[in-house]
């Protein structure tokens, strides 16, 4: 498929392009196919991605590689305890030549923003991202300014037990479409990564631009062509409802969780080159889409029970619909 500024793609064309993007990024980010796929699903579904893991596992490289390969403008904010909201969104300053106050845009004004170590900054500065993530706009001194389209935040966070971190507010966690965990490489893959570094004699592998902002928007629009059967809508509602009555969960998923689950499942179908949804699409993204939206009961934190594990058991317990969409039967 050639690089195109056409704004219309079928789900199959969008899936093909997304696979090409993943293959290219896989040259730079070694041994993380599941994490790369989840980030790609988040981009396709038009949401923001939270990557929660220890430092040094390739989170920054992942975000920069996605920006380069998708042809998107890229900015990075290193969140620190002394970062101010104006450092994120921008602020007016006095222009001596014109004698007027002029707005200087902050790093938010980009296509793909890497919010690095977002939970190292106090909640007031974290909140500066809320309007941007929810509305794709920034309001400063009473003036609202639109952000570029597409606008994607890839935020990295250290585990909350890590020294010098603040827990993210529930309202902000809910704005992230999904949460990704990267984890350590196996010894074999880590050896391959080190050998590849020595062979290329450069710090990082160079990735090529395969897309552009208009095509990313077209790939997102292709999701709307994915058929969702009524049985699958009922299945998604059942999963969301189950989080609200589970005895281990104190606060269940919000309605935004159901919307996230629908769009991520549609993105999964597109990535597989289909224009219809299956129960497996929903199941494969349920934990990344919902685990960060629920609050476990306090005694589970003491016992070090993870929300991911609770959600995985919950998903396994909810009956799966057996019917297939009409388009699947006809094909």
CA triple 202-205-209, angle to 5 deg: 135
> From residue 246, how far is each of 38, 136, 243, 255 by CA, in Å?
26, 34, 5, 16
**6 or 98, greater pLDDT:** 98
| pLDDT of the residue at 285 | 96
**177 or 53, greater pLDDT:** 177
Domains by residue range for the chain, with CATH: 11-220 (3.40.50.300), 226-320 (1.10.8.80)
Averaged pLDDT, 247-274: 93
> What one-character-per-residue DSSP string does 144-208 give?
EEEPPSS-EEEEEE--TTSTT--PPPHHHHTTEEEEE---PPPHHHHHHHHHHHHHHTSSS----
SS3 (DSSP) at 90 = strand
Mean pLDDT (the chain) is 86
Q: Is the pLDDT of residue 4 over 60?
A: no
Query: Which among 295, 319, 304 has a CA at the least distance from the CA of 246?
Result: 295
| pLDDT of the residue at 300 | 80
**54 or 318, greater pLDDT:** 318
Q: By the 8 A CB rule, do 106 and 86 touch?
A: yes
| pLDDT of the residue at 56 | 67
pLDDT tier at 280, thresholds 50, 70, 90: very high
| pLDDT of the residue at 271 | 96
pLDDT tier at 176, thresholds 50, 70, 90: very high
pLDDT tier at 216, thresholds 50, 70, 90: very high
pLDDT tier at 30, thresholds 50, 70, 90: confident
Distance CA 106, CA 319 (A): 47
Burial class (CB in 10 A: 0-12, 13-18, 19+), 94: exposed
Averaged pLDDT, 265-293: 95
| pLDDT of the residue at 200 | 67
| pLDDT of the residue at 2 | 44
Strands 74-78 and 112-116: parallel
Q: What is the pLDDT of residues 162-171, one digit of tens each?
A: 566 777 777 7
Q: Is the pLDDT of residue 154 over 50?
A: yes
**85 or 232, greater pLDDT:** 232
Distance CA 167, CA 173 (A): 10
Query: Which among 43, 52, 46 has a CA at the least distance from the CA of 70?
Result: 43
């Amino acid at each position: 498929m050639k690089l195109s500024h056409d704004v219309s793609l079928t789900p199959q064309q969008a899936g093909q392009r997304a696979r090409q993007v993943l293959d290219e990024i896989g040259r730079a980010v070694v041994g993380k196919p599941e994490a790369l796929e989840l980030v790609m699903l988040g981009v396709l579904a038009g949401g923001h991605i939270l990557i929660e893991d220890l430092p040094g596992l390739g989170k920054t490289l992942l975000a920069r590689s996605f920006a380069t390969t998708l042809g998107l403008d890229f900015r990075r904010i290193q969140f620190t305890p002394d970062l101010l909201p104006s450092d994120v969104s921008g602020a007016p300053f006095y222009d001596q030549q014109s004698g007027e106050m002029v707005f200087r845009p902050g790093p938010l004004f980009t296509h793909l923003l890497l919010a690095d170590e977002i939970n190292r900054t106090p909640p007031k500065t974290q909140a500066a991202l809320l309007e941007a993530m929810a509305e794709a706009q920034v309001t400063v001194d009473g003036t609202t300014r639109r952000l570029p389209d597409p606008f994607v935040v890839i935020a990295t966070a250290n585990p909350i037990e890590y020294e010098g971190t603040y827990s993210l507010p529930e309202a902000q966690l809910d704005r992230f479409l999904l949460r990704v965990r990267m984890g350590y490489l196996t010894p074999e893959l880590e050896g391959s990564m080190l050998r590849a570094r020595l062979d290329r004699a450069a710090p990082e592998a160079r990735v090529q631009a395969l897309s552009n902002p208009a095509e990313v928007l077209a790939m997102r629009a292709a999701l709307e062509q994915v058929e969702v059967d009524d049985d699958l809508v009922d299945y998604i509602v059942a999963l969301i409802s189950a989080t609200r009555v589970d005895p281990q969960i104190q606060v269940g998923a919000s309605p935004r969780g159901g919307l996230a689950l629908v769009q991520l499942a549609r993105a999964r179908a597109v990535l597989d080159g289909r224009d219809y949804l299956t129960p497996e699409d929903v199941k494969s993204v349920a934990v990344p889409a919902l685990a960060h939206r629920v609050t476990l009961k306090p005694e589970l934190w003491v016992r070090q029970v993870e929300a991911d594990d609770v959600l995985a058991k919950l998903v396994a317990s909810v009956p799966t619909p057996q019917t297939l969409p009409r388009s699947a039967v006809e094909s």
